Amino acid sequence: MSATEPHPWLAGALVPGRFGAAAGEPVRLGTRACELVQVLARRDGDAALQAAIRAAGGPDLPPPGHAAQGERMAALWTQPRGWLIQAGPDAGLARRLADACGPAAAVVEQTHGRCVFTLEGAHARAVLARLCRVDLHPRAFGPGRVAVTPLSEIAAVIHQTGAAPGFDIIVASSYARAVAGMLAAAAAPIGYQVGGDQMGGDQMGGDQMGGDRVD
């Protein structure tokens, strides 16, 4: 499976269309094709890891609760001395980071171990609020913020990517199909759109995911 192919756990669930409530502005659901690598600084390796990430085209590593964007990759804080590094598909990210970091950090390929869902639109916060306890009010959680939190009962990383608002929701691939259903069910009372070119990735959805299709 290449980085641009849908995760096998979502096979058959990627159905374009509008679902749920027919009136009003829908939210937009999709998935993002990208590469993901977890980096964990070894003891006394923080400065060396930061230098390696910066040399590889990454940003200054962000503090807890934040993400940062560099020239070639983004970094999301996920745990003490640990970050999830995100780049476009087919970037060879894991090899580049392993070569750059050397003994300063543990580098773990996560591209196929995680699935990145995208959620956009004026009502995106309301959808997420049905599934998690994070305070998503714009004063508390804005662009560039990250939360590591249960989504219902499934561990997730939530990253606000834009002011629209837009969110990336990163979960273990083995839970991808369950999370797709949860997101669709939470979005159905508002209405949600799957497909089109606004999401920039593979699409998810379908009648079986929560809500009837609107033709």
207 within domain boundaries:
no
Q: How far apart are CA 179 and CA 29, in angstroms?
A: 12
What is the model's pLDDT at position 173?
A: 94
Task: Give Dmax (Cα) for the chain.
Answer: 58
Task: Please check whether residues 175 and 124 belong to one and the same domain.
Answer: yes
5 within domain boundaries:
no
Report pTM.
0.88
Task: Please check whether residues 167 and 119 belong to one and the same domain.
Answer: yes
What is the model's pLDDT at position 10?
A: 77
What is the model's pLDDT at position 1?
A: 38
Residue 211 in tokens: 């809500």
Task: Please check whether residues 73 and 48 belong to one and the same domain.
Answer: yes
Q: How far apart are CA 41 and CA 97, in angstroms?
A: 12
State the total domains in the chain: 2
User: What DSSP line would sit under 142-180, residue for residue?
Assistant: -TTBEEEEEETTEEEEEEEEETTTEEEEEEEGGGHHHHH
Q: Report residue 129: phi and psi, to 5°.
A: -65, -25
Last residue of a domain, one of 66, 86, 109: 109
pLDDT, one tens digit for every residue, the chain (215 residues): 333 345 667 776 658 899 999 999 999 999 999 999 999 999 888 999 999 999 999 999 999 999 999 999 999 999 999 999 999 988 799 999 999 999 999 999 999 999 999 999 999 999 999 999 999 999 999 999 999 999 999 999 999 999 999 999 999 999 999 999 999 999 999 999 997 533 333 333 344 445 566 55
Grouping H, G, I as helix, E, B as strand and the rest as coil, residue 93 is helix
Domain holding 156, by residue range, is: 14-33+113-195
Task: Please check whether residues 43 and 22 belong to one and the same domain.
Answer: no
Last residue of a domain, one of 78, 109, 140: 109
Task: Please check whether residues 85 and 181 belong to one and the same domain.
Answer: no
